[in-house]
Structure 1
């Protein structure tokens, strides 16, 4: 009997041991699964870093024409301080006569790092138009180029919403690591995930004070809380924090965990964006790279960790200073710094960076950039991918565009209150390009991004009206055509009726009048519809479509007779890019928002490359430019002159049927600009392009180039001025006076109405703009 009871007892013990072993095995397997998930999530979060978007950098080279005040303004916008000392420190600049002395900060673009240092830039001509004569470093060595700090125009943080600049541990000053371990975890390299000694000490301190005055969390626990948990002080959260910390310590080295802490710890706010990591905090608070922090600056940043809101240096400078001093004294107590160094640092006052205001709200542009990067053979995502994007945007030009659009809409609504009584608000869009590179310098997609993110500059398909006529003129002037026209060709401004599949088409002029025979130049300058309708029929819609496509128009164009009057829809961006080809003397550079894309280590993912293709000759482009300059001098664009702009300009207005769309597009050699005004639902404006869009265009143009404008158009080879008699179109002569007209070489009429007058083959026989 006893033996039976003994056997049953042993059997129960083995069963219980088996159950216990099963429970332990299941628990261990469960923990291993939990640990594997922690590892996967940690590596995923650590791999996510914001994509930072920089504006087009200001690059100086010897020989460049640059206004010194433009350079000074750029430096101030990116946080440099103007000083009077002979040798400026990092983040400062000083003028000595015609010499700029610049204490360059370190420049970090992805993994690329320029340590900065002192440079001297000499200018000839300090006021007005200056020129860079030399660039030298601190040792007096000549530099071929100087890249000034570009402005940050945006950051795309990814799903976790953290703004940080990842840095490697070896880039972090030793005194910052010493300060961090001194204050947050002195025994970091001695204990595991938890520090029982510190936990016990914290419990005793809290019991004595009757409140939670000291935490016992290790650096690894703080990292776990930052990456995975909320800041709620609950028992469950502390248990989860400890479990995650154990998993991290088991799977990662102390160095990896310390580097992750340096990169992820929360250190405050930049507006609505959370600042994580010392790599981001250093430039935000001190305008310098983390590798260049002083001991006092490192101590202040470490002091912030305890309470980023309580010790925020910009809002509570005295609290931040006191907390810095606490960190320094603890470092002295542990022997990291001696008494003399402590006293010197305590006496040092720290200069904080000035909080920078973003100079432009470029959200439509950033949306366009995101879409551009996501297309093509190798699409790139900006969401938390850690890219560095050097964009084409010029912040000051973008700001000028935003002000011009906002002021223009306000003026229109104030002068015509009926525009505010419609079911949809009045909208306007503006885009500005560099014709030489295709760089999108500014983009405004509407009156308010907050109320509508639709980009009317890049995505709205609208009829351009007469703004399309320069493309028709270019097709007509093509010397490869069977019967090419010239600017002196005579067109009939007489009633026209044409049977089409859609019914009878009867184009009319805006003034409802007919002038009889008119020259092609006069028809373009005066925006005469009927002569251009006849010109389109003579040229052929198919050839007009082909010409538009050569200029970069990608929208589908219907090859109907009304195409010559701008009846097919295009976007503002592609029409402005087509005009930019004329500004660039026939070379097409596709519009681009990204100049270069760098990876995490600074490698070029999409290198800076300039794609340009000659699609028409400089001579052909200059013919159209000449006529469009006449639009500004004598035609529908003369309001630009009345508004005070005196520089070189070629431009054209556009108005669609019912005045639903108002356009004004134009260019100088360095800038192509397009403006559209209208309602999203096509409600008639009742205003022409010259009345609605031109004031916005001119306001923007003067803000960017000033009333005197920039460089003049170059007179190319292959064109000549010939005097022709305007009524007959024949070459003028003695007893048969004419007017100067521009021709492709060899295309002027041979027949003369009198004794021939020799033509000009360079320059212009009259001044169509102020002499420069």
Structure 2
């Protein structure tokens, strides 16, 4: 390079270096960048939208149905009055089932009773809401002698009571899938002592914070650090409620953030009293089998068999102590642990000024005084509850039954149910013991009131508490000779043609079927008697004369009679139907025989009486529905014959073993697959079926099988004898027991039979004088 160029370069002016712009950092950069601003706005909108979503979630639940409340099913209330038949043992059982606690001194609280001289009872009932209103708690005393109530008075008073209604046994719950149970209580009904204890232990600053309490969080952190583990929580009641109602139990950061946000929103939307009341009804406090106990009111019933407002302070403290860990402090399993936790709660109440030192000393010295067993146990009668559900589904869908908190009152009698279960267990075992070639017998037993058609008890398995196949409702089996009264009833509705004294033909019969085959029905003894009176054919359950009679009156007319008796199933119109070669369930058979028991009035069997809503307000009543289905004169004639079945016919064993007078009919199917008995007294009807699920032979007839369960049950029931009062238009007449002609009381073989007026025999039979012994028997009869 030349010197000139170098000098020019040296002498030329220097260019100033341009300064680079300084970079902005932090918030300033974020704000100044238009993309960052947009992103920030989007984040704010997203967060606001999420808050709106959470708020909607909260308000939707809180303004609607917060919980799925199970429906509770109650038995009939036990009505007490002077002269009522009930044993001391039965009354004790009723008190036990309703959760009454026996005390040695005079009862002072609801749900307590004592016994004096083993026959005098003193008790204080509980408040209970019925269809007709609230029945307030009342003290009563009663005496029971010779299995009857001999006196009924107000407690500590000479004022007698005409009638007293015990609160009914709660026999079951219809639960949601979560198996949660609770009894709602309003905040103004919650004792102040429980609220003070709850706040002292779980959230001292409940009325000062907005859902989150930094002080409590810091205090809990310090306590946990000093203890070297988790000994105290910092969650508020609001946070606990949010966690239980809206969130899953998983422990994640996301859930904790949601819990905090929703707690704030809950406090913004709702008053403290609403939050507290909801918490008191929601908190989980224990487990009864698969059933979860939620809320302080149900927990009070479960642990102490008493209403929350009736508890002592120390008992309330125990319930509050359970909040920390219902399983860890479960008082029935860990009594010592539960008592220590209760005492901790009491000391916290002292610190908060809710107790004095003297009161603390008094309460910590007391036992827990738990009820002997949970007042509300698991469903006891699965078959009956299945019937309740099916009949309710006509008016309520499944979700309402499981979540609306309905109170369902039924006709179920726990005392009769217990006897029915005992009879089934006892006799089935004996039948299998007597016949070792037979096993796996199954059964159904239905008991109902004769006139009202109310189901009082039902067993559908040899193991009555087994919640499996409901044989009473769903086991559709051939009914055999149970059909016969309907055939004779069809005939006797034609008095100009048939009477109890009509002669039927019991000789070999051959019938050509539609498939060109010959059907030759046989009698059970494989013999034929020739001519036989209509009443004797029914009493002795003769097959061949029954088939002839059925074909004569017409299969379609028999079907009509069955429908009038209450059978809704389609009846096949072929000759073998006259011997019961078609199938019904035990419940359908009970419906049919109920019409006989009610003297021709069909009253469809029912189990539900009333339904109340969760607030104990009436929703629906199920009154008695009956209609005159059959001429009561014809029914009377059949019932007269059915009574004779139990005296000299296929069920004659009842005459010697059973005190009350009854009527009934045995039923046996081909190859001894099904054993039946249906019978009734003036006030009770029962149907029994015995069979095998594989439809194999039981080796039992109606009289050797089902009748034995029926007889065992009725021998343990208090029942009214069958009276058989003839309706207007019935005349009695002495007739010859062989020919059916008119006879005289003093003639040999003469029997007295009822007739529909105008249908009496006109021809006279030859009279042979009865012997001296026979006349003496008739005189005393």
TM-score by length of 2: 0.88
Q: Cα gap change, 1:613/1:5 in structure 2, threshold over 3 Å: closer, same or farther?
A: same
Partner of 2:191: 173
CA–CA distance in structure 2, aligned partners of residues 63 and 374 of structure 1: 39
CA–CA distance in structure 2, aligned partners of residues 510 and 348 of structure 1: 72
Q: CA shift at 1:179, angstroms? A: 1.1
Q: How does 1:314-463 map to 2 (within 5 A)?
A: 314-356=332-374, 361-376=380-395, 381-420=400-439, 425-448=440-463, 453-463=468-478
* Aligned with 2:754 (options 734, 742, 745): 742
**Equivalent pair of 1:111/1:603 in contact (CA under 8 Å):** no
Q: How does 1:754-769 map to 2 (within 5 A)?
A: none
1:731 paired to 2:742: yes
**Equivalent pair of 2:30/2:37 in contact (CA under 8 Å):** no
**Equivalent pair of 1:53/1:152 in contact (CA under 8 Å):** yes
CA–CA distance in structure 2, aligned partners of residues 200 and 9 of structure 1: 36
**Equivalent pair of 1:88/1:101 in contact (CA under 8 Å):** no
Q: CA shift at 1:504, angstroms? A: 2.8
Q: CA shift at 1:627, angstroms? A: 1.5
Q: CA shift at 1:457, angstroms? A: 0.9
1:78 paired to 2:91: no
For these two proteins, the number of residue pairs brought into alignment is 749
Q: Secondary structure at the match of 2:471?
A: coil
Q: Secondary structure at the match of 1:215?
A: coil
Q: Cα gap change, 1:192/1:141 in structure 2, threshold over 3 Å: closer, same or farther?
A: farther
**Equivalent pair of 1:637/1:690 in contact (CA under 8 Å):** yes
CA–CA distance in structure 2, aligned partners of residues 301 and 167 of structure 1: 15
CA–CA distance in structure 2, aligned partners of residues 452 and 317 of structure 1: 33
CA–CA distance in structure 1, aligned partners of residues 155 and 629 of structure 2: 42
Q: CA shift at 1:493, angstroms? A: 0.7
Partner of 1:633: 647
Of the structure 1 ranges 249-258 and 63-72, higher mean CA displacement relative to structure 2 is found in: 63-72
Q: Cα gap change, 1:132/1:590 in structure 2, threshold over 3 Å: closer, same or farther?
A: farther
CA–CA distance in structure 2, aligned partners of residues 64 and 704 of structure 1: 14
Q: Cα gap change, 1:244/1:110 in structure 2, threshold over 3 Å: closer, same or farther?
A: farther
Q: Cα gap change, 1:184/1:465 in structure 2, threshold over 3 Å: closer, same or farther?
A: same
* Aligned with 1:21 (options 41, 51, 60): 41
Q: CA shift at 1:17, angstroms? A: 1.8
Partner of 1:556: 570
Partner of 1:545: 559
1:466 paired to 2:485: no
Q: How does 1:523-542 map to 2 (within 5 A)?
A: 523-542=537-556
Q: For residues 291-318 of structure 1, what are the alpha-carbon distances to aligned partners after superposition, in whole Å with 9 as ceiling and x for unaligned?
A: 2222222112112212212222222333
Partner of 1:221: 239
Of the structure 1 ranges 712-721 and 13-22, higher mean CA displacement relative to structure 2 is found in: 712-721
Partner of 1:711: 721
**Equivalent pair of 2:495/2:756 in contact (CA under 8 Å):** no
**Equivalent pair of 1:106/1:288 in contact (CA under 8 Å):** no
CA–CA distance in structure 1, aligned partners of residues 704 and 767 of structure 2: 45
Q: Secondary structure at the match of 2:402?
A: coil
Q: For residues 667-715 of structure 1, what are the alpha-carbon distances to aligned partners after superposition, in whole Å with 9 as ceiling and x for unaligned?
A: 112221111122334333343222232222222333434xxx5434242
Q: CA shift at 1:402, angstroms? A: 2.9
Partner of 1:587: 601
RMSD across aligned positions (CA): 3.3
1:693 paired to 2:706: yes
CA–CA distance in structure 2, aligned partners of residues 343 and 362 of structure 1: 45
CA–CA distance in structure 1, aligned partners of residues 85 and 699 of structure 2: 44
CA–CA distance in structure 1, aligned partners of residues 131 and 296 of structure 2: 15
**Equivalent pair of 2:238/2:263 in contact (CA under 8 Å):** yes
**Equivalent pair of 1:623/1:742 in contact (CA under 8 Å):** yes
**Equivalent pair of 1:488/1:729 in contact (CA under 8 Å):** yes
Q: How does 1:86-485 map to 2 (within 5 A)?
A: 86=106, 89-95=109-115, 100-107=121-128, 114-121=135-142, 126-131=144-149, 134-136=152-154, 145-229=163-247, 231=249, 233-356=251-374, 361-376=380-395, 381-420=400-439, 425-448=440-463, 453-478=468-493, 481=494, 483-485=496-498
Q: Cα gap change, 1:252/1:359 in structure 2, threshold over 3 Å: closer, same or farther?
A: closer
Q: For residues 242-288 of structure 1, what are the alpha-carbon distances to aligned partners after superposition, in whole Å with 9 as ceiling and x for unaligned?
A: 23323322332211111111111111122232111111111111111
Q: CA shift at 1:71, angstroms? A: 2.7
Partner of 2:3: none
Q: CA shift at 1:433, angstroms? A: 1.2
Of the structure 1 ranges 624-633 and 138-147, higher mean CA displacement relative to structure 2 is found in: 138-147
Q: CA shift at 1:363, angstroms? A: 0.9
Partner of 2:14: none
Q: For residues 409-466 of structure 1, what are the alpha-carbon distances to aligned partners after superposition, in whole Å with 9 as ceiling and x for unaligned?
A: 433434444434xxxx542222111122222112222335898732221122221110
Q: Cα gap change, 1:714/1:725 in structure 2, threshold over 3 Å: closer, same or farther?
A: closer
Partner of 2:664: 651
Q: For residues 196-239 of structure 1, what are the alpha-carbon distances to aligned partners after superposition, in whole Å with 9 as ceiling and x for unaligned?
A: 00000111111112111111010111112223445555544433
Q: Secondary structure at the match of 1:116?
A: coil
CA–CA distance in structure 1, aligned partners of residues 665 and 30 of structure 2: 102
Partner of 2:627: 613
**Equivalent pair of 2:153/2:161 in contact (CA under 8 Å):** yes
Q: CA shift at 1:139, angstroms? A: 7.4
Q: For residues 456-513 of structure 1, what are the alpha-carbon distances to aligned partners after superposition, in whole Å with 9 as ceiling and x for unaligned?
A: 21122221110111222222222xx363422222111111122332443321101110
CA–CA distance in structure 2, aligned partners of residues 133 and 477 of structure 1: 48
**Equivalent pair of 1:199/1:217 in contact (CA under 8 Å):** yes
Q: Secondary structure at the match of 2:384?
A: helix
CA–CA distance in structure 2, aligned partners of residues 96 and 710 of structure 1: 31
Q: For residues 108-162 of structure 1, what are the alpha-carbon distances to aligned partners after superposition, in whole Å with 9 as ceiling and x for unaligned?
A: 56997544131244x5xx3324256655477776655422121121112213321
**Equivalent pair of 1:168/1:259 in contact (CA under 8 Å):** yes
Partner of 1:753: 765
Partner of 1:603: 617
Q: For residues 643-664 of structure 1, what are the alpha-carbon distances to aligned partners after superposition, in whole Å with 9 as ceiling and x for unaligned?
A: x333222121111223222211
TM-score by length of 1: 0.89
CA–CA distance in structure 2, aligned partners of residues 683 and 624 of structure 1: 32
Greater Rg over alpha carbons, structure? 2
CA–CA distance in structure 2, aligned partners of residues 295 and 452 of structure 1: 40
Q: Cα gap change, 1:356/1:527 in structure 2, threshold over 3 Å: closer, same or farther?
A: farther
CA–CA distance in structure 1, aligned partners of residues 157 and 703 of structure 2: 56
Q: Secondary structure at the match of 2:309?
A: helix
